[in-house]
Amino acid sequence: MKSPAYHLRPNKAAERFAFIEAIKRLTKLGGNLEEYTYYGLGGPYLEDCRLFYEFYPEISMVSIEENEEVFKRQQFHLPCGNLHLEPKDMKSFITQYEPNDKKSIFWLDYTRLEYGCFDEFKVLLGKITEKSMIKVTVRAESDDFWDEYKNPRSEKIEMFQREFMTILPDPSIIPPRDSREFANLLQKMLQIAAQQALPAEATSLVFQPVSSFYYTDGKGMFTLTGIMCKRSNKWRVVKAFKDWEFANFKWEKPTRIEIPILSTKERLHVQRHLPCKTSRGAILRAELGYLIDEDIPTTEDALEQYAAFHRYFPYFLRGTP
């Protein structure tokens, strides 16, 4: 899937900063971040690794990459000395991965939607240790299953049902056209996969979700983050994240990220009135004094999105190399 450069995708950038926030809260579960190793798919620019090093230099990192030319670009962009580059595909890496009782943070960042994504998630759940974190990102593009006339593409739907039959809540389900409902279906599929990997009668560990989001940056994406913990200690995870606006402990519908494009001057102006707890969109619209979308409801919805994610929304500036 062709996409804008990783570091120029504002909704993904905001979601990535939310991940940074989630990692920080791991310290509330006891222990130090230096006990963790981060494993991810850094891409050609290793942007996530650069960011994690900036915030958490004590975390060791491993970037996994199967493409030889991308691997060469990673060697060129290597941002720090505590990052190891692994020339391997994620499936092979997970198969060979041994935690040795060490805590880990995994980001399974896929640009596709196929059963292998869920299968790798299940295999990893059977290996990682208590207090480890897994984040899974998959393609969530409902238009893959609907034509331009809003009719279901029967052959695509049949393929979907056959491929994912073992993790579907209903084997005859049709992928929803609505983006949030489709993201919610993917979340239910991950929930079923987690329950299959960690059956209550066979293990004391459980995958406890802490957040889930869906967004569009060229294509629709869904992402879920959770922590491995003992079933008897789920309350500790809830306590660590309970005051976070984006916490999702009960597999509730994922949170939308759709940040509006505002000028730097507009951002500085509305930011003086943040944070505020209620009617954020209406308050910011009144402070701006004009609409940034087609009408009042859509403008206020867009500004509500900005209010929710403004701390995670990076500034993109033009510079001279």
Domain ranges for the chain: 6-257, 264-312
Spell out the alpha helix ranges (H) of the chain. Answer: 10-24, 47-55, 68-77, 90-96, 115-125, 154-163, 179-197, 234-241, 264-271, 280-288, 296-309
Helix, strand and coil percent figures for the chain, each rounded to 5: 45, 20, 35
**Chosen CATH of 6-257 out of 3.10.350.10, 1.10.10.10, 3.40.50.150, 2.130.10.10:** 3.40.50.150
Which pLDDT score is estimated for 8? Answer: 60
Q: How far apart are CA 130 and CA 215, in angstroms?
A: 29
Residue 278's φ and ψ, nearest 5 degrees, are -130, 155
* Cβ proximity of 202 and 9 under 8 Å: no
**pLDDT digit string (tens) for the chain, length 321 residues:** 445 555 567 899 999 999 999 999 999 998 899 999 999 999 999 989 999 999 999 999 999 999 999 999 999 999 999 999 999 999 999 999 999 999 999 999 999 999 999 999 999 999 999 999 999 999 999 999 998 888 989 999 999 999 999 999 999 999 999 999 999 999 999 999 999 999 999 899 999 999 999 999 889 999 999 999 999 999 999 999 999 999 999 999 999 999 999 999 999 999 999 998 889 999 999 999 999 999 999 999 999 999 999 999 877 766 666
Q: Return the DSSP state at 145.
A: G
Closest CA to 218 of 8, 16, 31: 8
DSSP 73: H
Partner residues linked to 38 by β-bridges: 61, 105
Q: What is the DSSP letter of 50?
A: H
- pLDDT in the model for residue 298: 97
Judged on CB neighbours under 10 Å (0-12, 13-18, 19+), 111 is middle
Distance, CA of 270 to CA of 16 (rounded, Å) = 23
Q: Measured between alpha carbons, how far is residue 89 from residues 92, 101, 107, 112 in Å?
A: 6, 23, 14, 14
Q: Is residue 12 a contact partner of residue 212, using CB atoms and an 8 Å limit?
A: no
